[in-house]
Structure 1
């Protein structure tokens, strides 16, 4: 299907009786007994038929674009509605300790307790109890030979 840049319903039919179309009319008349008016009428009929085909193609393209837009709209994630009177919970879900995660990543045995709510809470409490140690930069002295 050809690409149609603009809506063909707005196209204006040319007047095939004008001088610029005289060469085309002469080619149509050729060895026939048609007059210039009849040849212009044949050109106008042909133009009208071509315009009708373009209008149908335009409508099909427009419908396909609308269908594509609707499909894209359907694929967009929907935002859930929220209740204005509800409050957000104030509890945080604790994560397992770094020790448990390291054991898991290295495929070593670890007790399931470390992943239970009690184990995760204890890991969070332990992380809060230990003060973070500031990084101490050490000055390395090297002796050159």
Structure 2
């Protein structure tokens, strides 16, 4: 690997500082910087033990000490690790009614209205939660299934058929429907 071209404008301040500190010309400062770079970045050796790190020449000022980096203390048990630079969504996917999710799990047709913000809002306002140990019997195909009794009785008058939805409602509903299809384990290509 070749050293940087210390004669370029981006290294001007470095050259001037070195030339002033050591009483050199700018060309001598460029040569000194190139020599130092080659000493600190030797070509990779194929055989033998790695070379000892080179020592700076005695006539150069000592390099500045690296900033004191805090050594992380041992983590206590139960304290979650903070992950930096991880994106967290600031929006939440609204939940449609249980009826719509049940139909989605059974690969049945579900109106897109259930996945619009208005449909999710109506489903939340009509959701009735019963005791945790209360179940209802539901028929799916020829099987009977017990389901928890959190029911969502959305009045039929509120549901808007797909052909009557606006384009923006359809776009929003599609963006809400696709993650719910993934949650309900739909295959990627159906």
When you count strand as a share of all residues, which structure comes out higher?
A: 2
Please report the TM-score for the alignment, with normalisation by the length of structure 2: 0.24
